Structure 1
């Protein structure tokens, strides 16, 4: 037995993405713990949280319009946090590029999934 969101690739990928972000932020300075570290962790977690929450709705239109939209906006927020982390030299270019590319791919997958919903 499983919840239907567990079968969604976008949910699985967003779970992996958030774990990757968590690992990267372990190296952020302690003075950022309640600022950038907390923000990027919360926004990366909210991607999967919104997908799972919206997937239990009876209405595909509400899932499509609201919850998948929230997930896409959270990805944009994570990307902005990644830029801030890179600008402050908290992450190297390799980690930035990997996270950025994964975020871009995930966003496009969510958009494609949203467009297929009726």
Structure 2
């Protein structure tokens, strides 16, 4: 996402660029925090937050496409990656709750 947002207008440095980068980093950070928890329900909680943040990133990308900061082709590629990530997070959460 850093590479993608590096092409955004400078005026978005504290707007979309910051939001996309922070939310993208938050996905991994929540997964890392969740792994330190003992109970699977606690782990699943952080996985749920990571999933929600993934949807936040998707929303930022939709806005970026509508503002023509990213091309349709780049948007579709990123959306496909987000789709795969969200499916993996959903499967992880289900597994964590099942193994409770």
Alignment TM class, shorter chain as reference = over 0.9
5+ residue gaps, structure 1, are: 1-20
Deviation at 1:83, TM superposition (A): 0.6
Deviation at 1:58, TM superposition (A): 0.9
Match of 1:39 in 2: 19
List structure 1 runs of 4+ shifted beyond 6 angstroms.
Answer: none
Match of 1:56 in 2: 36
Query: TM-score under structure 1 normalisation?
Result: 0.80
Summarize deviations over 1:22-74 as a string: whole Å, max 9, x none.
1100000000000111001100110000000110111111111x200110010
2:63 matches 1:84: yes
Equivalent-residue separation in structure 1 for 2:69 and 2:23 (angstroms): 18
Equivalent-residue separation in structure 2 for 1:75 and 1:69 (angstroms): 10
Correspondence 1:1-118 to 2 at 5 A: 21-64=1-44, 66-117=45-96, 118=99
5+ residue gaps, structure 2, are: none
Deviation at 1:113, TM superposition (A): 1.3
Equivalent-residue separation in structure 2 for 1:53 and 1:35 (angstroms): 26
